[in-house]
Amino acid sequence: MRDGTPKGYAYIHFDTNQYRIQYKVAEQPISYQIELYHPKVVAQANKTRAGLFANFFMGSKTDLVEYRVDSGKWKTMRFTPTLDPSYQLTLFKRDYANQLMPGKRGSNAIPSTHLWYAKLPAELTIGKHQIEVRATDRYGQVHYAQSVYNIETPQNNDYE
d(CA 135, CA 77): 10
d(CA 22, CA 30): 9
Inside any domain, residue 159: no
Inside any domain, residue 63: yes
Inside any domain, residue 12: yes
Inside any domain, residue 108: yes
Q: Is 94 left (phi over 0), alpha (psi -120 to 50) or beta?
A: alpha
Inside any domain, residue 109: yes
Contact 128, 148 (CB under 8 A): yes
Inside any domain, residue 135: yes
Inside any domain, residue 103: yes
- Cα–Cα distance list, 140 to 15, 19, 63, 115 (Å): 15, 12, 9, 18
Inside any domain, residue 157: no
Give the pLDDT of the chain (160 residues) as one tens digit per residue: 888 888 999 989 899 998 888 899 999 999 999 999 999 999 998 888 889 999 999 899 999 999 999 999 999 999 999 999 999 999 998 899 999 989 888 889 899 999 999 999 989 999 999 999 999 999 999 999 999 999 999 887 655 4
d(CA 17, CA 47): 50
CATH number of residue 45's parent domain: 2.60.40.10
Provide the number of structural domains found in the chain.
Answer: 1
The confidence score (pLDDT) of residue 157 equals: 61
The confidence score (pLDDT) of residue 160 equals: 47
Domain residue limits at 14: 8-152
- Cα–Cα distance list, 77 to 62, 107, 114 (Å): 12, 28, 12
The confidence score (pLDDT) of residue 64 equals: 98
